Structure 1
Amino acid sequence: MMTSTDDAAASRREAEARRAALAQYDILDTSAEVVLDDLVKVAALVLDMPVSLVVLVDAERQWFKASLGFEGPEPPLSAAICALTVRQRELLVVPDTTRDPRTRENPLVVGAPFLRFYAGMPLVTAEGVGIGTLCVLDTQPRVLTEDQAFVLTTLSRQVMAQLDLRRALKERRTRERRNAAILDSAIDYGILTTDLAGRVTSWNTGAQRIFGWSEAEMLGNVADRIFTPEDRAVDTPAREMETARTMGRANDERWHLRQDGSRFWATGEMMPLKGETGAQEGYVKILCDRTAQRRADEAMQKQTALLQTVTDHLGEAVFRLSMDDTITFANPAAEAMLGWSEGGLIGRNLHDTAHHHHADGRPFPREDCAVVKALEAGVALRHRETVFFRRDGTPIDVITSNAPIIEDGVVSGAVVTVIDITERKAVGARLRRSEERLALALNAAGMIGTWDWDLATDTVYADANFARIYAVDAERAASGAPLRDYVRNFHPDDLPVFQAELDRVLAGAEGDDFACEYRVLQADGSHRWLLARGRLVRDADGTPLRLPGASIDITDRKRAEERQTALVELGDRLRDLQDPVAIAFTAAEIAGRTLGVTRVAYGAVDSSEEYLDIARDWSRPDVVGREGRYRFADYGTYLPELRDGRDVVIRDVADDPRTKGHPEVFRDLGVRSMINIPLMERGRMVAVFCLQDDRVRAWTPDLVDFARNVVDRTRVALARLRAEEEQELLNRELSHRMKNLLAMVQSIATQTMRSATDVETAKEVLAGRLIALGQAHDLLMGGAIGSTLMEPVVRGALKLHEDRPGRFRLEGPELEIGAKPALSLALMLHELATNAAKYGALSCETGHVAIRWSVEEREETPHLTFSWTEFGGPVVTPPTRKGFGSRFIERGLAGQVGGTITLAYPPAGATCGIVAPLTAFQADG
């Protein structure tokens, strides 16, 4: 079942077919034609219709080729009833258009001219494509009789016949124009026609170009003037026409004459020229100037004879092979090389005869042979080294080449040349062994190559290794190149030294030995250090003739010296620096300058070990610095290696699996290779030393060792600076603590003596208080003077009174407090414990003290709450007066932390509460 989509596609194909068919008739928008106008008039008269039309239906419009009785322009295609006729391909009759569902809503029916009757016969091409209709219309309903239908059908065929005649005439004119154009464009071929008597009836441009006569000069004249006098004497033109008439074709290959009397060799043929009835009307002759080819053939024959002579005297074996590898020609050298008699190789298969085994004796199948493959593929083979075998089985080392033989565009075989290199290979083997021994000797001496400078011609002859290190073409160096070709790649700073040494030797004042160290720039931008040594050769009168010598690569030694010098410089400069940023920058600068990299930075790692902070980096003058914070994850996946303390060495960030996923960030940084060396402290990464370069670089172990050495020295310098800072801080802190301690001892002694009743009592009380102060101070010293934890302070202050487990029950979070508040807290707890031992819970076996502390939010500020509560002691009676202990408790710590302290004496046991800002407790003042 057809869908709407299928219907639409079919309609589009049909419309395109109509458009193509109408293009062949070339009739749209042409002028009126009498024959078609007459046929329209006949249809109207015979059928008694007021309107008669020849309508052509294009893909997008309808057009009236002939019309009678229709006023105005053609209606649009959407209103064309003829479109229905074209699609159904048969006579369409609509007796009353207002009743037919296909037409009753048509604009021409419901509006002017109010059509009521339609009859149309489609116009169908020979290819079966409907291109239009012959139709009649009326404003009244009608019935079309059988005779009238016959008339309309017959007239539509006449319309189509006129259209086909018009198309045929158009195509004939097109063919005639095309044929004329072809004849005129065939300037390399002379094409002429004659009548039966041999008089010229046409003469193309090619004939005029070849013969020299124009068409006007030849028309009506006998064509035998183009033949030579010899051919005319034996009646060759007439015999040629007779052969063409009787045989249908006469080949023509002979000398012909031009208008100027010169001769040329032509090939061609003559054929009968027949009319539309098939009767012969004359002859057509086609020929082509082949003079150059004939002369080339003659030259080729002479060349072939010469080539035969040459091949007979060649030292190389020459074979001609057919496509199946059969030998059709072998020169005397080939027969002698393979040990065959004259003519003995002809007809034999070359591979089976001379190439049947490998050098080691293994069989050599034809399908594996490169010579056979090249022959079968019709391709050239150049200088293939292999082994052939003589007739007696003796192997021969040979080089073979073959070139395909192409005849008439088809490969018909090949020419194979074979060169015996057995002796050459033996000589080459001896030479290679000699060169290997020389290379071993040179390498053992650290040499990279030798040279010989001819001073008279300024020509330096050098070996391949020497040429490579100086960036000179090896072949040019072997044949000789001027000195400037070598020194152009010297480091500019070293040229004056080289020239001075050269001048000294040539002057002859201090001996003829030449020695100079200098740098040579390499293609990758790096440089090599060379030591050149030579000895001047003079003639009998002392004139300098030659300066031969050798170059030794001393790059490793020089770079080791540079790195050692750099390390010495680093130690000297770091010794006087007191700023961590300056230390890190100095290390980066020296490492970058020595290794010749793009950028070096020493960065600190944050506590999460996720970020690197670079305060200042070193970079080349043409490179922008990159200070700031960097996240390791943005630059690759190597962070776990750094955290494990392993160096990250990357030759090419674009290829390394750890970094190749981040090409944009490295491109923005201008980084192509890098080294990252982590600095570890107590198992944690605290810093990274980064070296980066803008080119791919092979980081050799000695380079990495140098970078690690720089890192180690930098770490020592930073550790020295940090230790000095910590020592200074410790000294200041000790001084401060001693002053505080002496002041506190003085205060305790004064207050104790002032309230004591006798000397013995004063001694006992003062001793206890000083012991408590000493224990608290010991605790703080154990924490390196600085802040300490709350619980150890409490336990240390009460240790003297803890006569059994459970006396003091502590509860509170782990919390740091400052050194001075810790001393005051310890002394306050000592006073509370002393009072409890005399009068309170610690004075009996069942008593204990609960000590609790916590942090609470008060007025949006963290506060420390500390409480002392006694249980299980005798009934407490509030004191009648305050002694030193009570005043110390209320004023000492309160004054220290700025909080409030509350002492109470309920019967169940004494209590003490402290509330102060947490920051005051943690201050180290």
Structure 2
Amino acid sequence: MLSTEPETRGVVRSYDLQGLERERAFDEITRVAAFVCGTPIALINFIHSDRQWTKAGVGLELGDVPLSESVCACAIQQSDAFVVPNLREDRRFGHLSLVGGEPFLKFYAGVRLETAEGLGLGMLCVLDNKPRPAGLSAEQVEALNLLAKSVMSHLELRRASTKLAEREKRFRTILDAVPQKIWTARADGTHDYFNKRWYAFSDAQPVESHGDRWLDLIHQDDRVRVQARWRHSIATGEDYEIEYRLRHNSGEYRWMLARAQAIRSKNGKIERWLGTSTDIHKTKTVEQALAVREQHYSGLLEASAVVVWFAGPDGTVTHSKGWTELTGQTDQEYLGLGWLRAVHPEDQARVVPIWEAAQASGSFYQAEFRVKSRNGGHRWILASAVPIHDASGRLREWVGSIVDVHDRKLAEQQLYASKERLRLAIETTALGIWDVDLISGEREWSPEAKAIMGLPADAPLTRNTFLDRLHPDDRGQVEASFYAASSDASLTYEGTYRIIRADSGEERWVAATGRTLLGIDGRPSRKIGTIQDITAREHAKIILRASEERLRLALQASRMIAWEQDLRTNFITRSDNAIGLMGMGSAPLSDVLDRIHPEDRGLREPRPNASQTPYISTVLGSEWDAPDSSSPQISTTFPCGMHSRWGRSCVLRCPKSNGCASLPRWRCLCRLTPWHNRTRGLGAGERGAAAPARRKLCSVAPRSISPPLKQFVAFEACGSVQTFSTLMQPVRAREPGRRGRRCRSRFEGMC
């Protein structure tokens, strides 16, 4: 088999022939070959792929030679020694440049460099520039074969060393990659290797770790113990295992678990030790903490109200701590199954089967029930127990605890009652509730919420379920408020929107509220809110707005003013058209009084005390352009209600607030104090006394107002704020003593 064949190339590469530099050992072999054969030239040539190159030689430097110019390429095909007495006369080689030209080679003899697998790698050959018809003697051929074997032995040794070095490198690479501190030691216990994890942990250098110097890194309190245990393993060959504290690169000593095993030869002799050091500092710290907690737990049980009890494999109580303090039963009374006598009679039939089922299955036991309290009455407790088994798996005993959960049970009952009240309130008000988990994306709507939207009870809920049902004109507003995802958005929001029901396509009005809840990281984690159908309320608002608009138009068309006085603040609110008709809008009462003509202000009666029944004044007005005579005085009195207050009517002059102070306007003022609902509160005699006064006023009024008044004013009481409605309409009026001129009559409120 030749090294040029594809299936042999891997074997050739294992010898790394191309990477080998000239070596003294090979050069000495060629000198010996030339000496033994008596030739001036001896070469070690290797053949691979399409070329031949010289590894070592004496008498000739060839370098790389194409196979077409190589004698060895032909010789390697032979298994025995290949001898050509005269290359010049041999038709296979006479045309070669090394034969026909310098160095004019004439003689060639060579033997194969062959691997143990029979693969020919090259030739060990001797050459001469003179022909040698006798060739080589048998001894010379044998010497060449021995020298060829020496070449192969050297190559095999080099390959083995290379493989060993690669294996060592690979082994150490693996050891460095293992998340463990690994070390090795010679048979005598001398440490000679530590992996990178060791050096990274200890921050020590190899000179500080090899030999016995690694002991200096161990805590001084553990050093003697570790050294003694390591020497014992070296002497006996036993596995090495010990816990100790090793200095960390931070200066802290951390607990380590060191283990080592001996690597033995076939005859059982210890060759090396392979060991590991595991950082168990956390485990050790936990163990120490657990020991402390064990003490704390024991003390806590003694100091707390938790009852601890123990029972045998058959379920009978053998011992308890705290049961007597809880129930008042003595040890003799609760042992065995005597504890059942302290259980509430209504709970015994439920508790016993649960305890028996736990015993039968050997599983965890837990039950809530009431027990008789030491102070009387019964209290809720939570009893738990776990089975304890021995090493063989057999049930050894039960260990349990009892916790007083009476307060929690009462709170649960109160919470249940609150939930029931909430449920009834929601059902009564038809209020829907929605809830969105922003982390998991889970959504939940109450049945009322789905009913409002016209969705079936099993309808799937997504982010767009509500958006898809919104009126197109309201969708953008909802997305900007309810669907804002940033953490700096408003946490509470509400709005009124229109929806299109999914079942009927009907347009409905809903009021929606929401609140964003933040998680512990300050980011939104949940949204919850309500939705309510307010279609009837919105329709009522529309009707009210239409009614108000009709009233506004009526007041504007009839040049009438509607007003209202708050008797607590004396502020008068007027309709919007007051500015156009009076030159003033809503204002305090004092602003109105300032507009009365100075000569007429004394005609007003003093205002009653605030403690008396509230009153209100009205002005029945007729306007004249420029009166040139004294104003007519109409003075009359009549009883008004059960409090027998009196009223007076008179004509006052008030300047109109339009900048024309030279053209005063006249008002007919009638003050009534206090008022009642028309005259229904008057007795028969009072109504009779009031009738002449009203007839007198109405008989005088036609002088300036026509037609005659049939009803003056109607009052209504609304708490502390009194309102009234005027029954006057714009009419034609005339000034006393003058021909009739067009004017308008109206009521104006004053005090």
Q: Structure 2 length normalisation: TM-score?
A: 0.40
- Which protein has the bigger helix share? 1
